[in-house]
Structure formats: C-alpha cells, structure tokens
Structure 1
C-alpha cells in the first residue's frame, strides 16, 4: 500500500500491481466529498479470510498467498508466540472494522515491555551489612526489628531514644539506603549548568586501553549507575571524555620488609572509576563561589552538648544537570558511551554548585542551628529537646527538596564526633588522634631523596643558569649564576678563569651549541687549549662536572630553605663550603691544594685584631724563609695529592673489577646482547637487552 492512490474527493482507492490497475469505491464516500458513515464491514468477522472487494478478488488472493508462506524464524532465540497468524488476522479485522469516530483501541495482543519500577527502600527495605560500631554508638531500626537501620548515641535515656526514633521515623524519606533511592533535587529548584567559552571547540576523546580486571570494574560501575538511572546511553554527543580507574586509598600503614625495616605502605581498598574531564574543564567558565572557612566553622561547632553529624548520600549525584548540558558529560567506556543525568565527580564547578545549593536549601539555619561544609551537615545545641527540634526542621527541609542523607555516616545525638578530620566536643576542637598515630608510626627519613625538592631553579635576580667549571686534579670548583647560556657568557667566564688560574691543557664539555661554535673555537685557539667533547648520551665522560653539580645542588637545597628564588645569593656560600670540604681522592681540601694553606674558618677568627697586627709587623728575612718553607710544603702537598689520586683510582678500579665475572662462551650457546644506546629512545620500561643470538 506504499504507492496506493487515494482520491478523497471521489471516494476512490486505486492500487497498481505490476502492469494492472484496480480501482474501488471505499467507505461509502459521496461524490461531494463529505464522508457518510457506513457500517458495512470491510473485513468479515465471521471468517478468518478477507472479504472480496465486489468482483475483484486480488486482495484475497494476495493475502492468502502471504499467509501460506511458511517462514523460518530469524533466530532460534525469538519467541514463537510473536508469530500468531490467526491472532494477527483477528486484530486486523478489528482495526479495519472499527468505527472511525470512536477512539482507537490499544492492541492487546502486542507484547509491550514496561520499564521495571523499582521500589524504594521504604516500600521494600533492603538487606544492609551492619559494621562494628564504637562503644558510644548503637543501631536502631525504623522498620521492624532489623530493617532501615540508623545510628544513634548509646548514652541516651529511654525517653530520649523514643523521642529521637519518633522523629526519624516521621522523616524516612530524608534517608537513602541504596543508590536508587536518590531522587535528585527538584529541577525547578536547582540544576548544574556547564557554560562553555566561545573560543573552545567540542572535543571527542577515545577510550584508552584497560586490562581485563579494570574491564570488570568499569562494567560493574556502569551497570550500577544505569540501574539507579543516573546515566543514560547516548551516541551523538559533541563532547566525549575517557574513563580512568584509580585505586581507592585507605590510608597508610607500616610493614616490615625482609630486612626488618619499617616501610610505609598505602592501603588499597578497591578501585574508583573516574572521568577525565580535563578538556571540558578547560573550556568551562569557572565558578568562584566561596567555600566556608573551616576554622571558623569548627569554632562555632565546639562547646555544645549534643550533635547530629549528617552526611549526604553520594552528594554530587543529588544535583541534576541542566537538560541542555547533559550531553557534555558524555563518557566513553569499553562498552558504550553514556551521559550523566546528575552531576558527576570531576567537573571543575561541581564543588561550587553543590555548596551554593546547600546554602540555598538551609539559608535560614546556617550558623544558627547547623553548619554545612559541602555534603557534611552538623546540627548542634546544648539541650536535647532544642537539638531534636532543629533536627526535625532540618530533616523536613531535606524531604521538601529531595535531599537524601547517608544512614551509615549519620550519627544522631552524640556528645562528640569527627568533622573535617577534627574532633568536636563540648571541650572544644581537637586533632583526630587516628590521623596523628599514622604519621607518628612512619619511620624517619634516612635518605636525602626523601626530603628532596624537584624542579629546576627559579629565576633569581634575573639569573636562570649556573655555569660550572671543575679542575680535575685539584677538584677546585668555579660556578657563576648567569641569565642566559649562550656563547658570549661562556667565553667571558672562561677568560676570567684563565686570568686567575692560567690556561689549562684541555677542556672537556658536552655537545651543547654554546660550546660547539666558531666563537668558542677561536677562544680555545687563542689560548692554546685543546677542546674535547663528551660522548653523546654518555654523561660519564664529564663525570667530574656531573658530580660537582650534584654536590652544589645538595648544598643549595639545604641553604635556600623555602625561599627558592635566593639560590643565586647562596651560590658563593655553597662554593666556599664545597672548596673547604675534605676530598678523599686528593687527601685534603681543594682550597689547601690550590693556595697551599688551610682556609681560615669562622670559628678560627676569634682574635681578629691580634691576627691583623701579627701580619703587619713582620720581618722581611723571616718572612722570606717562611715563604720558602711554604713553597716546599706546597710541592710536597701536590706530590702527595697526585699519589693519593692514583691510589684512589686503583681502589675504584679494584671495586669495579671485583664485580666482573669471567664468562666462557662456546659455539652454539644462546646469548643476549646489552644495548647501551637504548636510552636515547623513549620508553623507560623497554629492556636494554636484545636477542637471544646463537654463537656460531
């Protein structure tokens, strides 16, 4: 009937089959075009066959031929009850013979799958797992003897418990015992909006690869959110963000290793599914709604007799997202793409939205009868009756706005509790001892790496670089803070060194552009200095400089403190400490080896006036003899330093050779080859061994 021609004014139906054309007057339409009711049935209800149109029986033949086809089911999983030829005929007869003036009837034979309406926890209480409670708390039940539990104080009197339970039972709708109990804040009251800047374009990110273990975690989380109607499938969103799984952190504990050393270890209690909304957050206009000052809130809470510490059930999920912005929260996982109906974690403006919503709900109670910090609510008062009255008003407000509280994290009418990692009671504000005990059990740091600060030096008085030069024999270190690292400042620095200490035989440097250029080569040629370049990707070639850099960095770390920008001011002090430190390879300090005498340390300059007078009133002959003795001592000192250097190198060689084991390879053995140049490629987890190879 797709190409049927119906002439409404003539009341004629024309059907074309192949090259034949059939016309028929139908439904008793008059020539004038005004329809006249006709009760003559088009299809006879007394026979399962179709009634012919006057002398033309082509409809009967075509219908009988179609019904005579014995089709095979498309899939064995399809229920055969869908194929009911007799029922379809009867339904078709009823539809065609129906009076057009009456409303159409619903096809009763069609199987419509209605969505499963899950009952709330109040209508069908779930079975929840009860955990062990502290001595001052106990469970009570709002339904029967073991259904809809809540946590109250154990120290209440019988009449106080009765009054409290009565209030809690009258406000069951304010609590949630499972995720599907979340109704969400009324859309007319509050929604979360995501406003995108004009300069940003939508970003579609692909899902990253995850292992099979994480697959099951994501699947379980998605099914849980779908079951609670917090997300829905979507396929045409311009914004798509990937999913990540991170371990849930359950605090620190201290364990012993094989060497009986205490090692701090973080407990992992499960996995948390997170959405990477970084690109969406970059494009979102930021909300700057202020959060409450924690110290002021704790001061207002302290000093009361009774407290009710309440917690929102999956707080962010209770804020609905504006219908126009839901597609922006789309995330992709290994199964499908979904979008959130309610506000998820990870959005940049989510904390501000939630705090503003809570402030709007409890605007007339905050700082008077209760305190709100995100999803943590605290009702307080000095008398039980007054506190219960405020609790009743607060729970009524939760019911009116569809705000649900977490029964497991809510404690009623207690004398003390933990708020924002602080213990609140009548005595005041105290630090949570459980947090302090964990830190106290941590072992003291035994390595410098544990107290190291990372990152390059910040700009200090316009200086960003430090150029270091080291004498390989004397271990003397020269360093200068420079604003740039170009060739000009390098050549100027070397010229000043040559004027003070003379020209060296050779200079070893890396292959930086500030050393490999014509200007630097001309300076080396002018002073007759040989320039050696370190091996590429092998910093051990200029190892002395690398060791000196590390030593200077450690000294600066201990002297600059928190003011990292003052490192250039502390550089001279670091050099002084480095030059006066004893060096094992030379058997003395670099200062003594260069100047032939020990450096006067601050503790030795106690008698400055006497020391200056002694050097002013001197005898020229005595001073000359003394100078000859010092020169001889300096020559002996240098010879001794040379011998100590040879001894140190031999000792280092023995230690290195001790670790080398002789290996005898035979033809046919399979070996692997160490690839020392692999470090130039990316990927820290790549093996440096290639092979195996067969010896031939």
Structure 2
C-alpha cells in the first residue's frame, strides 16, 4: 500500500476579498495516488509561517499544482521525481535476425543486478516474440483470424481521383511507398473496383506519414460488434498488483492478413501507381474489433487473469512479484505460438507504474496522465 501524508492547517479567517478555504487540506486529495516526494516537503518548509493562513494555503496549492502540471524538472537538483518507474535500456545479448545489430530492450531501473540478469536471460530466450524490424514481422497465424471487409450487398464502388501534391511531397511519398513495398505490406494492382486517395500528414518531427482516406469504403462496410474492453474498467483491474509489464504490439494491425477476396478493395492511388494492402491497415472500419478478436483467441484462458489487452496494448499483471517472470513466460509462449510480434522499444518489464491508455497505472492506484 502506498504511504501518503496528510497535512492539516490551523483554522483562520479568510480575507475579505479572498476565497475562503476549508479548515484542512489533504495531500491525498491533491495528488490522488501519487507518492509524495521529499522535495515537496522541502518546498513546503520554505513557506513562511508569518504569512496569513490563506496565503500559506495558496502557496501549498502552487506546489501541488506544479506536480499535477508535470513540472517536476524543478525538483531534479534536490532529488528525482518521476510519474513512472525509470526505465533502463539493456541488451538481451542476441542479434536482430535481419540487420545483425544489437537488440535493445527496456526493464525497470529498480531491478537488482541479479534480477536484471534473470530478466535479460528470459527475454533473450524469447527473442522471437519481438520485432526490431518490419522484416521480422511474418504475419499472425491465419488460424487465429484474417480481416474481412463485409461490404454491403449492392453497394456501388467508388474511385477517388488523385490528390494534387506539391513537388516536394511527391518524392517523400514515393520513398514511403517504396518502404511499404519492400516490407510486403502493399502490392501494385490494375483495374481495382475501389480506389481511395492518400493524405500525406506532416509529423511534429517533420517526417511525412501517409494516411489513406477510406471514408467511402468504410461507409460501405457492415459494423463488427465484437466487444472492446471498457478502458476505465480495464485500467482499474490492473491496479493492486505488485508487478506489471507493459507490452506494445509491433505495428500490430499490419500483422493481420487481409482476406484475399477483399484486399484489392483497399486500393489507393499514389503518384507512382495504384497499390492495395496485403495486411490490415489501421484506419479500416472494424480493424480494432478484428485485433481484439485475435487477442481473445490468443490468450483465451489467461485473459483477465494474467494479462489484459486493449487492442494492441497489453499489460501483464502479477499479485506477487516473485511470480511475475513465470507469468511473462506464459504470455511469451502464447505470442510465439501464434507468431504475434511485440515492439521491444515500447515495452517496459517488471515496473510498478507506467503510462497506459492515457492513465498512469500504479500498483496502488491510477490517475489520468497529466500530459494528455
């Protein structure tokens, strides 16, 4: 159980032009489930006792609000304050199957040297459940699921015209298309019935991401009502566990194969030709339901007991810390059996807190991610 402190203030009268306060103030109420760092109390100790009651409380407010707003950098000189466990980048001692480079992975920085050695050994033994490159993503076992479009009978196909792109964008779009061709995600097609258009989107780092406008195709598809988990209930169910591991699917949607009879319907127009998807693109209608169905089939009996899944976000949870590595091995065996790959650079193993689905999850509680 997390230890929290409750600070009480002496009763005092409110200034005439100031908002009155309650007689006491609780750090627990202000910080929810956050563990209060010692530097907070150092700042509280700097508040003058000569100030009026309300003035002191307003300064307390600024201390706690600064934490809520994520301005923890100001505490670094006196001690580290972090919303989540600090991660340590380690190498599991094997080479990537394709580029022969080192294979980095993240574990908790709080592990002892012996514990870290045990985890890295286990992760190395299960290296085939991770993909450091697209070429290592061989596709989900077809016995689990494939993606069907289920276009409504009688729907008239729509062919979108090509968007006008500036000269500076054309070369960058072609580079992205070539990358998708080399990974086997897309293939050239002639005479498709449906053609969608592309929408290049500039990322914050200046790179280009190619989105496809599937709105017309999505309108023509029936809705898959396979249930997704309720995020709030899922997040709450991961608390009160001593150890957690957070695992992220490596371009998870692209690991599910499109149905051969539907794949040409995903065709899209580019400056260098028309291509269709061999794998399920993220933005297709029902893509989330298909992925959730796959997770249900893969984990089946251990779902909700040892692992929680919301589409491609997984969390392995263990009540007693000493049993966590065994639980991870069970999950890894399922992933390897069905050939589902995880992204090692977005995983964190054996931690007590982490960002997950816009929440900060801890073994003692949850709170909203202040960065969102």
1:410 lines up with 2:347 in the alignment: yes
* TM-aligned CA deviation for residue 269 of structure 1: 4.7
1:151 lines up with 2:109 in the alignment: no
**1: CA distance between counterparts of 2:246 and 2:321?**
14
Aligned twin of 1:384: 321
Deviations 1:469-491 (CA, angstroms, capped at 9, x unpaired): xxxxxxxxxxxxxxxxxxxxxxx
* TM-aligned CA deviation for residue 246 of structure 1: 2.1
The structure 1 residue matched to 2:198, chosen from 240, 243, 263, is: 243
Aligned twin of 1:356: 293
**2: CA distance between counterparts of 1:193 and 1:144?**
37
- Cα distance change on mapping 1:380 and 1:207 into 2, 3 Å: same
The structure 2 residue matched to 1:136, chosen from 76, 86, 111, is: 86
Aligned twin of 1:666: none
CA contact under 8 A between 1:274 and 1:345: conserved in structure 2?
A: no
CA contact under 8 A between 1:230 and 1:341: conserved in structure 2?
A: yes
Rg larger in structure: 1
* TM-aligned CA deviation for residue 188 of structure 1: 2.9
**2: CA distance between counterparts of 1:185 and 1:135?**
32
Aligned twin of 1:344: 281
Does the residue aligned with 1:242 lie in a helix, a strand or coil? strand
1:6-17 matches, cutoff 5 A: none
Deviations 1:415-435 (CA, angstroms, capped at 9, x unpaired): 110111111112201122333
**2: CA distance between counterparts of 1:213 and 1:142?**
41
Query: Number of matched residues?
Result: 284
Aligned twin of 2:183: 228
Deviations 1:324-347 (CA, angstroms, capped at 9, x unpaired): 111111111000111111001221
CA contact under 8 A between 2:94 and 2:124: conserved in structure 1?
A: no
1:274 lines up with 2:233 in the alignment: no
**2: CA distance between counterparts of 1:415 and 1:213?**
46
- Cα distance change on mapping 1:153 and 1:235 into 2, 3 Å: same
Does the residue aligned with 2:197 lie in a helix, a strand or coil? strand
Aligned twin of 2:136: 181
**2: CA distance between counterparts of 1:290 and 1:418?**
24
CA contact under 8 A between 1:290 and 1:352: conserved in structure 2?
A: yes
Deviations 1:203-253 (CA, angstroms, capped at 9, x unpaired): 2222111112221331121111111111111112111111111233xxxxx
TM value normalised by structure 2? 0.73
Q: Cα RMSD over matched residues?
A: 1.7
1:365 lines up with 2:302 in the alignment: yes
Q: Which runs of 5+ in 2 are unaligned?
A: 1-83, 96-100
Aligned twin of 1:326: 263
CA contact under 8 A between 1:192 and 1:343: conserved in structure 2?
A: yes
Aligned twin of 2:23: none
Aligned twin of 1:335: 272
* TM-aligned CA deviation for residue 268 of structure 1: 6.0
* TM-aligned CA deviation for residue 292 of structure 1: 0.6
Deviations 1:584-604 (CA, angstroms, capped at 9, x unpaired): xxxxxxxxxxxxxxxxxxxxx
CA contact under 8 A between 1:246 and 1:271: conserved in structure 2?
A: yes
Does the residue aligned with 2:302 lie in a helix, a strand or coil? coil
CA contact under 8 A between 1:321 and 1:341: conserved in structure 2?
A: yes
* TM-aligned CA deviation for residue 349 of structure 1: 1.2
CA contact under 8 A between 2:173 and 2:208: conserved in structure 1?
A: no
CA contact under 8 A between 1:244 and 1:273: conserved in structure 2?
A: yes
Deviations 1:148-169 (CA, angstroms, capped at 9, x unpaired): 1100011112222122112111
Aligned twin of 1:308: 245
CA contact under 8 A between 2:144 and 2:298: conserved in structure 1?
A: no
CA contact under 8 A between 1:306 and 1:381: conserved in structure 2?
A: yes
Aligned twin of 1:422: 359
CA contact under 8 A between 1:138 and 1:154: conserved in structure 2?
A: yes
CA contact under 8 A between 2:85 and 2:108: conserved in structure 1?
A: no
Aligned twin of 2:154: 199
Q: Which runs of 5+ in 1 are unaligned?
A: 1-133, 249-266, 436-696
Does the residue aligned with 1:346 lie in a helix, a strand or coil? coil
TM value normalised by structure 1? 0.40
Aligned twin of 1:657: none
